[in-house]
Amino acid sequence: MNKWVSVVVGVLLVLFGSVWTLQGLNVIKGSFMTGQQLWTAIGLLAVIGGVTLAVSGLRKKSSR
């Protein structure tokens, strides 16, 4: 996977995961995910995966 694709996908995962976590924790209201513990867990996993993907993408050396 291209270096920048990994970083972009990782950042998107962190953003979506953060929203899902906040909805699961009942901080952001107005969704079927609001107050659901499952979405807190899914969001945290997405954040962890996104950070891991973005950091690994940033550490890759350019193939040029």
Q: What pLDDT was estimated at residue 3?
A: 86
Q: Whole-angstrom Cα distance, residue 13 to residue 53?
A: 9
Q: Whole-angstrom Cα distance, residue 52 to residue 50?
A: 5
Six-digit token string for 29: 């209201």
Domain segments of the chain: what residues? 3-59
Q: Whole-angstrom Cα distance, residue 16 to residue 28?
A: 13
Backbone φ and ψ of 28, nearest 5°: -100, 125
What is the average per-residue pLDDT within 48-62? 90
pLDDT tens-digit map of 1-49: 688 999 999 999 999 999 999 999 999 999 898 999 999 999 999 999 9
**CA–CA–CA angle 41, 49, 3 (5° rounding):** 160
